[in-house]
Structure 1
Amino acid sequence: MDFIDLSYQDLTQAELSNLDLSHTNLANSNLYRAGLFKSNLYAANLQKADLSHSYAIGLNLCDAKLNNAEVSYANLYQANLIGADLRGANLHGANLRGVDFGDMDVAFLSGANFQDVLYDLETNFPNGFDISQFDAHFIGKNSNLQSANLHSAYLRNADLRHANLVHADLRNCSLQHADLRYANLNNANFDSFVDFSNADLRHCDFSNTDLSQVLMDNTNFDESTKFPTDYIQP
């Protein structure tokens, strides 16, 4: 599918997963909430494209042009961004856990907005790039995520041992297989569906929370887990 011209197209919520779209021209196209799971967009032109809220786990964006693209809240878990041109791109709130930027020239990130992005120890930022210049959220052991907006965040397999999640917004959050041992979730917001399936919740504190819309299938908990007093344990 080399050199296909899909510029200026409305691909809102389009299912484009597992496709080879390398070198495709998608400039100025609308890919809002598009499914791009493990697709290949090597050297694609995505200048000024809207990829916001897209499901782009494992997406290959190596050498892609993303100048001034809208990538806010995109789920780019374990995506390949080596050599991608992100000048002026808006990545506000994007999930960058496990993303590989390689050793690209940091000039390719000039003017890019990394405010509120999620990153972890597996995120490989290029040399010379300092994520601390932004109010970004580190997802890992001992993370301070108090009052953080993690609405709809993809935190599957996350290491959140000893994390401070007091008053965090976890609505619609995916926490399957997460390690939350000793995490403090006191007063966290679970007001819409949250999936804790197969998570480790030992020594976890859920005090003052409403767990009525939380899925707890196959979770690991014991007497050390502090549930709300009115909660009927699964």
Structure 2
Amino acid sequence: MKMRFTPLKSFICSLFLGFHQALACEIELVIAMDVSRSVDQYEFDLMRSGTANAFRHPEIIDMINWMDGGIAVSLTQWSGLDKQRVMLPWRHLQDKSSIARFATEIDQMKRAFRFEFTAPAQGLSHAFSMFAQNPTQCERKVIDLSGDGRANQGESTGQMASLIAGLGVTINGLVIRGDHPDPLEFYVNDIQRGPLSFVEIADGYDDFPRAIFQKIQREIAPLYSENTPKLR
């Protein structure tokens, strides 16, 4: 079936033209965090602290220090149709001090939205648009999208993910199980896209800290991780 290009999809394609610059590091990583109405404050706190502590883990620090040029990373929060906000713009992590500063910024991050629907297609398009704002162009572009449910608003998530992946971006999912219907199938079929892509599973929010650490570990160095995913 031929894909219909909406204005949003046409805008995404236009952003691709700005990607042809000198490469300065291995990976550009956008962490896209679901803060829709299904996420209560306790769960948000777990996501925030779990993500911050993942960057404090000695294995993550060693990986970033080992990589030529370090990594570029940013963090956004997403929810409904027009509810996306960059919380931490691009940071170039190259050593222990820059990594520690980034982890502290995550700890201090506020919540952008509370009572909105779930529109992952718009969350993905927003995350993709952030690559054009990064002054440090890198070898790989990865979107790390987490959430606890299926789409209930917005464009086709699968079509949006395929469009973005077709422009050279890997999309990985972190699905937080516990909702009904189970969101795992949605994340595997409609979000996961691109080379070495995968879906990390958290068995509820209490398992999120473990899952986000393992996910970031796999994203930073997929060719060297014990959990290297299969090509999709």
Q: Shorter-chain TM-score category?
A: under 0.3
Normalized against structure 1, the TM-score is what? 0.27
Higher RCO, 1 vs 2 (CA within 8 Å, ≥6 residues apart): 2
Normalized against structure 2, the TM-score is what? 0.27
Higher-strand-fraction structure: 2
Higher-helix-fraction structure: 2
